[in-house]
């Protein structure tokens, strides 16, 4: 998923630093998990990871990529009527085989290939059913965040469309300009898949692990065809090539539990959806506290409100939206980490609240917490002589291309890792 602050490309920088400091945690706290890239990496290195984030979509990724240890068998869907009907199609098996074959062909190393096809076959079949055989229909995303990409498409009017079955019967008002986040036919597929996942989950047809794996695949697939620059604070007013591609659910890469190194590493990983300041005091003690907080005044709840809506669903209560971008009316709570007057105290309080042997903070040269304040806090919290800071330059995140209307101050930024061994 495209995400500001995603550490996937910086994982070698982080792991090299941990190795240099001889930090091999049996239990680690990933305090701002985001897309779960670092948490999954720590799990892969043998840690029992406890992850936390305020965003609902992050909790989905935590469950799929940190908590889940093996590909499930989807036994509850063996007798599902519609899945069985899809399996009867002549091309169903061929679609599954092509999916597996293309994945293996694209892998550059044995590690990239992941689990053998026999372990993932059940999941591959469900993914093929969802993105190729499930009938699309209008629901919340199509009605509120989509627009026609072709003249043959039609968008819901103020009168609604009684011929389309949907549990969301609140169409976009005629006066509201269609929000071009998704092409309409793609949004209908997102709606159909999200509602089917909800139905399977509440009826017990899929387990929690199965549900979150499928939902993570949907979130990533939807983001890949979103007509945005990577954030949802605005949509692009012309259709980008990626927005006109077909919606395709990719197989999530599961990290198996490592065994045989240390008994403590066999403790289960955990996922938490909530404010880290409330989760941290109850989380216990860790070998490593890894911090990757927001570094500027952007509010992630506004930048990623649509993935969060897809993650939460609209089944208990329809989200009330406002404005051109369709922000939920509940939006407005500002994170202390993205507020200049509160970010320093937030860092101090969190470090004090978590019992950990080692503390590592990922931060950025564009961050709002001054370097001197971070150094002061770290030296005070741990053994001052162990304090260290390393940096690496990398290409800055760009929400759109440079041009007359958008000039960037710099092409690159510096990523910092701050460290201290706690008292």
What mean pLDDT comes out for the span 369-396?
93
Q: Are 313 and 247 in a shared domain?
A: yes
The secondary structure of residue 190, as a DSSP letter, is H
Torsion, Cα 327 333 335 229, to 10 degrees, reads: 10
What mean pLDDT comes out for the span 64-76?
96
b/e 307-332 (16+ beta carbons within 10 angstroms → b): bbbbbbbbbeeebebeeebbbbeeee
Last residue of a domain, one of 313, 333, 353: 333
The pLDDT, as a whole number, for residue 84 is 96
167: domain range? 70-254+302-333
Cα–Cα distance for residue pair 363/171, rounded to 1 Å:
42
Q: Are 170 and 218 in a shared domain?
A: yes
The pLDDT, as a whole number, for residue 153 is 65
The pLDDT, as a whole number, for residue 165 is 39
Q: Are 50 and 74 in a shared domain?
A: no
Nearest-5° Cα angle at 38, 33 to 40 = 95
Please check whether residue 3 lies inside any domain of the structure: no
- 398 vs 266 pLDDT, higher one: 266
Please check whether residue 409 lies inside any domain of the structure: yes
The pLDDT, as a whole number, for residue 267 is 83
Please check whether residue 192 lies inside any domain of the structure: yes
Q: Are 74 and 64 in a shared domain?
A: no
329-382: pLDDT as tens digits: 876 567 889 889 999 999 999 999 999 999 999 999 999 999 999 999 999 999
The pLDDT, as a whole number, for residue 183 is 97
The pLDDT, as a whole number, for residue 397 is 54
The β-bridge partners of 147 are: 183
Please check whether residue 367 lies inside any domain of the structure: yes
Q: Tell whether the torsion through CA atoms of 109, 111, 116 and 122 is positive or negative.
A: negative
What mean pLDDT comes out for the span 268-286?
93
Cα–Cα distance for residue pair 348/359, rounded to 1 Å:
12
Please check whether residue 158 lies inside any domain of the structure: yes
What mean pLDDT comes out for the span 169-186?
74
Q: Are 49 and 76 in a shared domain?
A: no
> Both ends of the chain: CA-CA distance in Å?
37
What mean pLDDT comes out for the span 70-82?
95
Q: Are 165 and 33 in a shared domain?
A: no
Q: Are 154 and 215 in a shared domain?
A: yes
Residue 111 has pLDDT above 60, yes or no: no
Torsion, Cα 339 303 179 141, to 10 degrees, reads: -120
User: What is the rounded average pLDDT for all residues in the chain?
Assistant: 88
308-318: pLDDT as tens digits: 999 999 999 99
In a 3-state reduction of DSSP, which class is residue 102?
helix
Q: Which tokens in the block code for residue 421? A: 């061994």
Q: CATH code at 340?
A: 3.40.50.150
Q: Are 128 and 226 in a shared domain?
A: yes
Cα–Cα distance for residue pair 380/344, rounded to 1 Å:
14
Cα–Cα distance for residue pair 182/385, rounded to 1 Å:
52
CA distances from 272 to 184, 214, 404 (A): 33, 19, 43
Q: Are 90 and 220 in a shared domain?
A: yes
119-140: pLDDT as tens digits: 899 999 999 999 999 999 999 9
The pLDDT, as a whole number, for residue 224 is 96
Residue 11 has pLDDT above 70, yes or no: yes
Confidence (pTM):
0.89
Scan for tokens 């039609």, then name that residue.
154
Cα–Cα distance for residue pair 139/164, rounded to 1 Å:
9
Scan for tokens 């800071």, then name that residue.
389
Count of structural domains within the chain: 2
Q: Are 270 and 382 in a shared domain?
A: yes
Least trusted range by pLDDT, from 4-8, 109-113, 117-121, 409-413:
109-113
17-66: pLDDT as tens digits: 999 999 999 999 999 999 999 999 999 999 999 999 999 999 999 999 99
Q: Are 88 and 108 in a shared domain?
A: yes
Please check whether residue 2 lies inside any domain of the structure: no
> What are all long-range contacts of 161-170, with beta carbons under 8 Å and residues at least 24 apart?
164/137, 164/138, 165/137, 166/137, 166/138, 166/139, 166/191, 167/139, 167/195, 167/315, 168/138, 168/139, 168/140, 168/143, 168/314, 168/318, 170/143, 170/318
Confidence at 406, pLDDT banded by 50, 70, 90: very low
The pLDDT, as a whole number, for residue 261 is 53
Q: Are 286 and 163 in a shared domain?
A: no
Please check whether residue 220 lies inside any domain of the structure: yes
- 171 vs 143 pLDDT, higher one: 143
Please check whether residue 1 lies inside any domain of the structure: no
The pLDDT, as a whole number, for residue 116 is 81
Q: Pairing between strand 270-273 and 48-53?
A: parallel
């Amino acid at each position: 998923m495209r995400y500001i602050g995603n550490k996937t490309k910086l994982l070698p920088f982080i792991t090299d630093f941990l190795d240099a400091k001889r930090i091999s945690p049996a239990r680690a706290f990933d305090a701002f998990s985001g897309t779960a890239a670092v948490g999954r990496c720590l799990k892969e290195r043998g840690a029992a990871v406890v992850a936390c984030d305020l965003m609902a979509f992050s909790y989905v990724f935590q469950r799929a990529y940190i908590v889940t240890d093996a590909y499930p068998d989807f036994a509850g869907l063996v007798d599902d009527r519609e899945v069985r009907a899809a399996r009867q199609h002549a091309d169903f098996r061929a679609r599954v085989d092509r999916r597996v074959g293309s994945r293996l062909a694209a892998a550059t190393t044995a590690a990239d290939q992941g689990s053998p096809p026999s372990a993932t076959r059940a999941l591959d079949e469900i993914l093929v059913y969802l993105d190729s055989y499930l009938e699309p229909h209008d629901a919340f995303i199509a009605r509120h965040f989509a627009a026609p990409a072709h003249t043959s498409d039609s968008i819901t009017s103020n009168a609604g469309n009684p011929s389309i079955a949907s549990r969301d019967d609140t169409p976009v008002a005629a006066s509201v300009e269609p929000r071009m986040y998704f092409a309409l036919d793609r949004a209908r597929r997102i709606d159909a898949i999200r509602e089917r996942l909800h139905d399977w989950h509440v009826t017990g047809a899929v387990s929690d692990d199965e549900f979150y794996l499928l939902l993570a695949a949907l979130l990533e697939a939807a983001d890949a065809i979103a007509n945005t620059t990577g954030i949802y604070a605005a949509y692009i007013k012309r259709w980008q090539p990626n927005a006109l591609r077909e919606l395709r659910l990719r197989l999530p890469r599961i990290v198996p539990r490592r065994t045989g190194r240390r008994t403590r590493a066999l403790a289960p990983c955990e996922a938490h959806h909530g404010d880290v300041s409330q989760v941290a005091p109850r989380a216990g003690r860790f070998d490593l506290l890894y911090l990757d907080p927001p570094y500027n005044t952007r509010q992630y709840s506004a930048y990623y409100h649509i993935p969060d809506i897809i993650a939460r669903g609209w089944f208990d209560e329809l989200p009330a939206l406002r404005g051109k971008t369709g922000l939920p009316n509940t939006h407005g709570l500002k994170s202390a980490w993205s507020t200049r007057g509160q970010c320093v105290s937030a860092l101090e309080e969190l470090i004090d609240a978590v019992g950990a042997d080692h503390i590592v903070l990922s931060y950025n040269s564009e961050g709002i917490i001054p370097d001197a304040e971070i150094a002061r806090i770290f030296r005070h919290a741990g053994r001052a002589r162990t304090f260290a800071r390393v940096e690496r330059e990398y290409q800055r995140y760009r929400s759109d291309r440079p041009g007359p209307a958008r000039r960037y101050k710099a092409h690159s930024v510096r990523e910092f890792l701050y460290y201290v061994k706690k008292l």
